[in-house]
Amino acid sequence: MKVKIVLSALLAVFLLGSLQTKAQNDYDSLPPYRKDSSLPNFLLLRQDSSWLNVAQTPKKTAVVITFFNPDCEHCQHEATRLASAMDKLKKIDFIWATYAASFEEIDAFAKKYHLDNLPNVHFVKDVNYAIPSFYHLEMTPYMAAYNKKRELVKTFPTGASPEELIKLLE
């Protein structure tokens, strides 16, 4: 009887260990953007409480998704570089998304860098944390550039210059 109990306990431990190992092996370390290069269908919150559906941005327009933090010095530098060249970047839709910042902080950032009244620049909150999960982000600013066909052309883990974006997307 004791042998059956011991064998049953060992079998249970073995099965649980096997299930845990399988669960760990099933984790896919490849980010979703590397599996599908089409523009993702992120739902991002605007300040007016409406949703921006990234996939519904104007067709035949290149899109650059920038994940940023208003307090990040590199993000501020990126905004300065892009703002100085926005007259050359009018044919590209820019989506600036953040997770933790308030809309007051987002607005202050947009105004400071004169990006607040441009029709091709959108500031939003990623309340679902979809962008960092999709790209497996490690730092900001992170940029993903999609061409007019809505295909991923390149990601920039630390931002991109206006010249790079123009060369890549226009």
Q: What is the pLDDT of residues 40-73, one digit of tens each?
A: 999 999 999 999 999 888 889 999 999 999 999 9
168: amino acid identity, one letter? L
- Which one, of 92, 96, 38, lies nearest residue 61 by Cα? 92
pLDDT on residue 28: 74
Instruction: Give 5-24 pLDDT, tens digit per residue.
Output: 655 655 556 656 655 545 55
Mean residue pLDDT of the chain comes to 89
d(CA 61, CA 83): 19
Q: How distant is the alpha carbon of residue 160 from its chain centre?
A: 15
Q: Which of 32-36, 44-48, 85-89, 151-155 has the lowest mean pLDDT?
A: 32-36
pLDDT at 132: 97
Q: Which residues contact 10 (CB under 8 A, 6 or more apart)?
A: none
Task: Tell me the per-residue pLDDT of 105-154, one tens digit each, with 9 for 90 and over.
Answer: 999 999 999 999 999 999 999 999 999 999 999 999 999 999 999 999 99
Burial degree of 13 (CB within 10 A; 0-12, 13-18, 19+): exposed
Confidence at residue 56, expressed as pLDDT on a 0 to 100 scale: 84
For each of the domains in the chain, give its residue range(s) and CATH number, in order of start. 32-169 (3.40.30.10)
